[in-house]
Amino acid sequence: WTKPDGKRIIFGSDREKRWFIFWKAADGTGKVEQVASVPDTGIWPYSISNDGKTLFFEQWSSSGGPNIGMLAMEGDRTPKLLLQEEYAESQPQISPSGRWLAYSSNESGQNNVFIRPLPDVDSGRWQVSTSGGAYPLWSPDERELFYRSGDSYMAVEVETEPAFKLGKTAVLFKGTYTSGSGLVGMELTH
């Protein structure tokens, strides 16, 4: 991931025998610096807020997970877990406004996409997909959420004002894919 100002690249690496989060100047100068680690677990960066101040990550350990956490990119960089439940929660994507968190969870017995409000993730929860879903990605205007469901890429309408509401879901395109990375790192406009 690149910080919104384009000056640093944020990445996960197991160079320390466990997955940590690092960053480096985007122009290749300087040293690689460790940004965050969590004792006895691995963490992987997934998305960063538009202002570059908050990074959302996936955390896992040999005893369970994955779970979802956040990390302040300024000041105290102590990782904070947001979702730590008995099922796997992964692939966190913060909305452009910073008010919503989309993610994948297997709480229904298969991976599906969910949305929760930020910063209080316990004040609401909406299930986006019903027959499988992963790799959520917000549209730049926050009026759609894209995700992968089997061999299809989907788009669902999202309304955030005056209240949160999900609208119509449509298949964007369908096909056979060889990558497990879904929409991560892609920029879609619709």
Per-residue pLDDT of the chain (190 residues; tens, 9 = 90+): 555 678 889 998 887 777 889 999 999 999 999 898 887 788 999 999 999 999 999 998 666 679 999 999 988 888 898 988 888 999 999 999 999 999 999 988 899 999 999 999 999 999 999 999 999 999 999 999 999 999 899 999 999 989 999 999 999 989 876 554 444 333 333 3
The pLDDT of residue 126 is 96
Of 153, 156, 160, residue with least CA distance to 145: 156
The pLDDT of residue 2 is 57
The pLDDT of residue 63 is 65
The pLDDT of residue 106 is 93
The pLDDT of residue 25 is 92
Residue whose tokens read 């298949």: 171
Contact 92, 58 (CB under 8 A): yes
How far is residue 164's CA from residue 101's CA, in Å, rounded to a whole number?
A: 12
Secondary structure element (H or E) that encloses residue 21, with its range = strand 20-25
Contact 94, 56 (CB under 8 A): yes
Give the angle subtended at the CA of 136 by the CAs of 134 and 141, to the nearest 5°.
Answer: 160
pTM above 0.75, yes or no: yes
How far is residue 11's CA from residue 35's CA, in Å, rounded to a whole number?
A: 9
Q: Which two tokens stand for residue 122?
A: 């316990």
